[in-house]
C-alpha cells in the first residue's frame, strides 16, 4: 500500500513516543522479555482512543442469540464487540501489539540512560562470507533457472547455427542453453562480540534475584546487540562447580550446593581461550551473585584469575550483586577493594527492581 504506510508510520511514531516516555517502567519489569522475537519485541500498548460521548459502565448487558436457560452463563468474545450495535459500549481497554525493532529499543535505552556508543576494540574485524544469488552458472536446479539468460543463450546458438528465421522466429532451447542463478560469495567485514553471563544458582539466589538478573541481562544483550554486527551470548551457571547451559536453564536452574565463584571464572577463561579468542572477539563477562563465596581463599583466587588472565582479554568485566536475604555482599567489597581502580571492572549492587536502571547505566555507561 501507499498512503496507509505513512499513516501507520505516524501511528507507530506516536506509540514509540509513549514507550519512550514509559521506558523506565519497562526497565524494571520483565514485560518485554517474554515478547522478544528474533529482531523485534512486541510491545502491548493501549489503543489510543479519542474521547467521545458514549454509554457507560452500567451498560454491560445486551441482546444475544443462542440456546440457554435463564441464568445460564456463556463465554464469548469481549464486551460490546458488535454487541447490539451500540458503538463504544464497554470501557475495556483495547490492547494493540506494536512491534519495536530491537535496534530501536536499544536506541531508546541509549537515549534514556545517556549511553555512549561502543568503539569496537582494535582490529576485531571478522571477515565472514555472505552469499547472494547474483551469479550465473551452467548447472543448477530448475527452480533457479534464469529464463532470460537461457533464452538469450538459445537465441545466440540458433543464430550462430544459421537456423534463425525472422519470418518464423522460433527458438528451441536445448539442455546446454539453460542458465541458472548461483550464489556468489562476498566477503563482509563483521565486528563480533560475546557476552558471557555467569550466575550463582546456589540456594540463596531466589526467584526474585533471578528475575532481576533476567531483566538486566535482557537490556545488556539488547544494547550490545545494537553495537555489534554479531553478538553471541553464552550462559554459565555455578554453585560449587560451573557448567555451560542454555538460555532457559540459566534462569530456571536451581541448585542447592555451596558457592565457589572461581569455578565459573575458570570456565569463562577456558571458553575465551578455546572459542572466543580476544583477537577476534569483543568479550563481555558478566557475573551475578548475592555476594557470598565459599571462602576468602576462593575469592583470592578469583581476583588473581581476573587480574592476570581475564581482564587482559576482555573489554570490560561486570559484577552485578543482587541483594538476597542470605547474601553477605562481601564479594563486591572484596572486588572493589582489590580491583576498584581498574577501569575494566564495573560493579553494581541491586537491592530491588528500581535499581536495575542504575546498574545498567553503570555497566554500559563507559562505552567500552
Partner 1 sequence: MQPARRSRSPLSAELAHWAERIEAVARSYGLSFHPVEFELLDARAVNGLAAYGGFPVRYPSWRFGMEFERLEKGYQWGLSKIYELVINNDPVVAYLVRSNSLPEQKLVMAHVFGHADFFRNNCWFASTERRMLDAMAQHATLVRRRIDSQGLDTVERFLDLALSLENLIDPYLPLRRKLASGAQVAGAPAPAAGDGPTFDVLGFLCERAPLAEWQREILTLVRDEAYYFQPQRMTKIMNEGWASYWHSRILTGGVLDGSEIVDFADCHSGATATAPGRLNPYKLGIELFRCAERRGEDLMRLRRVHDDASFVDELLDEEFVASQKMFLYARNPRSGKREVSERDAAKVKARLLADLSWGGLPRIELAGVDAGGALHLVHHHDGRDLQLAKARETLARVGGLWGGPAVLDTREDGVGRRLRWRAGELKVEDLDTPIAQSAS
Distance CA(353)–CA(29), nearest Å, equals 8
Figure out which of the listed residues 37, 46, 61, 312 binds partner 1, where binding follows CB under 8 A: 61
Answer yes or no whether residue 162 interacts with partner 1 by CB under 8 A: no
Answer yes or no whether residue 68 interacts with partner 1 by CB under 8 A: yes
Sheet strands (E) in 222-300: 230-238, 242-245, 282-289
Answer yes or no whether residue 101 interacts with partner 1 by CB under 8 A: no
Figure out which of the listed residues 34, 38, 57, 161 binds partner 1, where binding follows CB under 8 A: 57
Up-side HSE of residue 358: CA atoms within 13 Å toward CB?
11
C-alpha cell, 272: 575465551
* Residue 226: CB minimum distance to partner 1, A: 24
Answer yes or no whether residue 279 interacts with partner 1 by CB under 8 A: no
* Residue 46: CB minimum distance to partner 1, A: 11
Distance CA(368)–CA(366), nearest Å, equals 5
Site residues for partner 1, window 8-37 (CB under 8 A)?
8-14
* Residue 191: CB minimum distance to partner 1, A: 34
Stretch in the footprint of partner 1 (CB under 8 A) among 48-56, 172-180, 200-208, 263-271:
48-56
* Residue 89: CB minimum distance to partner 1, A: 8
Distance CA(25)–CA(98), nearest Å, equals 17
CB 237 within 8 A of CB 250: yes
* Residue 48: CB minimum distance to partner 1, A: 7
Stretch in the footprint of partner 1 (CB under 8 A) among 26-34, 85-93, 116-124, 132-140:
85-93
Answer yes or no whether residue 54 interacts with partner 1 by CB under 8 A: yes
- Residue among 74 and 168 whose Cβ is closer to partner 1: 74
Answer yes or no whether residue 51 interacts with partner 1 by CB under 8 A: yes
Sheet strands (E) in 255-344: 282-289, 317-322
- Residue among 48 and 186 whose Cβ is closer to partner 1: 48
User: Could you tell me which of 200, 210, 209 has the C-alpha nearest to residue 264?
Assistant: 200
Would you give the end-to-end CA distance of the chain in angstroms?
A: 43
Residue 18: exposure state from Cβ atoms within 10 A (0-12, 13-18, ≥19): middle
Give residues with Cβ within 8 angstroms of 310, minimum separation 6: 265, 268, 269, 272, 285, 317
Binding site for partner 1 (CB under 8 A): 1-4, 6-14, 47-48, 50-77, 79, 81-88, 91, 96-98
Amino acid at each position: 500500500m501507499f498512503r496507509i504506510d505513512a499513516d501507520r508510520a505516524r501511528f507507530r511514531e506516536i506509540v514509540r513516543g509513549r514507550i519512550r516516555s514509559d521506558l523506565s517502567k519497562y526497565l524494571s519489569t520483565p514485560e518485554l522479555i517474554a515478547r522478544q522475537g528474533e529482531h523485534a519485541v512486541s510491545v502491548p500498548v493501549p489503543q489510543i482512543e479519542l474521547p467521545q460521548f458514549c454509554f457507560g459502565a452500567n451498560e454491560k448487558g445486551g441482546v444475544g442469540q443462542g440456546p440457554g436457560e435463564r441464568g445460564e452463563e456463556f463465554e464469548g468474545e469481549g464486551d460490546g464487540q458488535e454487541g447490539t450495535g451500540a458503538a463504544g459500549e464497554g470501557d475495556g481497554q483495547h490492547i494493540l501489539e506494536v512491534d519495536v525493532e530491537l535496534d530501536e529499543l536499544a536506541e531508546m535505552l541509549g537515549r534514556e540512560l545517556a549511553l555512549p556508543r561502543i568503539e569496537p576494540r582494535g582490529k576485531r574485524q571478522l571477515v565472514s562470507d555472505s552469499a547472494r544469488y547474483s551469479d550465473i552458472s551452467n548447472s543448477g536446479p530448475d527452480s533457479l533457472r534464469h529464463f532470460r539468460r537461457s533464452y538469450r543463450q538459445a537465441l545466440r546458438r540458433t543464430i550462430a547455427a544459421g537456423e534463425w528465421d525472422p519470418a518464423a522466429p522460433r527458438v528451441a532451447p536445448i539442455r546446454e542453453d539453460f542458465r541458472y542463478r548461483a550464489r556468489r560469495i562476498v566477503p563482509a567485514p563483521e565486528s563480533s562480540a560475546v557476552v558471557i553471563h555467569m550466575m550463582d544458582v546456589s540456594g540463596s539466589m531466589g526467584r526474585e534475584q533471578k528475575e532481576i538478573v533476567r531483566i538486566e541481562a535482557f537490556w545488556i544483550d539488547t544494547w550490545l546487540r545494537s553495537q555489534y554486527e554479531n553478538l553471541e551470548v553464552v550462559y554459565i551457571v555455578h554453585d560449587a562447580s560451573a557448567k555451560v547451559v542454555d538460555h532457559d536453564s540459566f534462569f530456571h536452574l536451581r541448585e542447592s550446593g555451596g558457592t565457589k565463584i572461581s569455578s565459573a571464572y575458570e570456565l569463562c577463561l577456558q571458553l575465551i581461550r578455546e572459542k572466543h579468542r580476544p583477537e577476534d572477539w569483543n568479550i563481555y563477562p558478566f557475573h551475578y551473585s548475592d555476594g557470598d563465596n565459599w571462602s576468602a581463599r576462593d575469592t583470592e583466587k578469583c581476583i588473581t584469575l581476573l587480574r592476570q588472565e581475564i581482564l587482559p582479554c576482555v573489554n570490560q568485566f561486570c559484577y552485578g550483586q543482587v541483594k538476597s536475604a542470605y547474601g553477605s555482599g562481601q564479594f563486591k567489597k572484596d572486588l572493589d577493594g582489590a580491583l576498584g581502580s581498574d577501569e575494566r571492572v564495573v560493579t553494581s549492587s541491586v537491592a530491588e527492581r528500581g535499581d536495575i536502571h542504575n546498574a545498567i547505566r553503570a555497566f554500559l555507561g563507559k562505552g567500552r
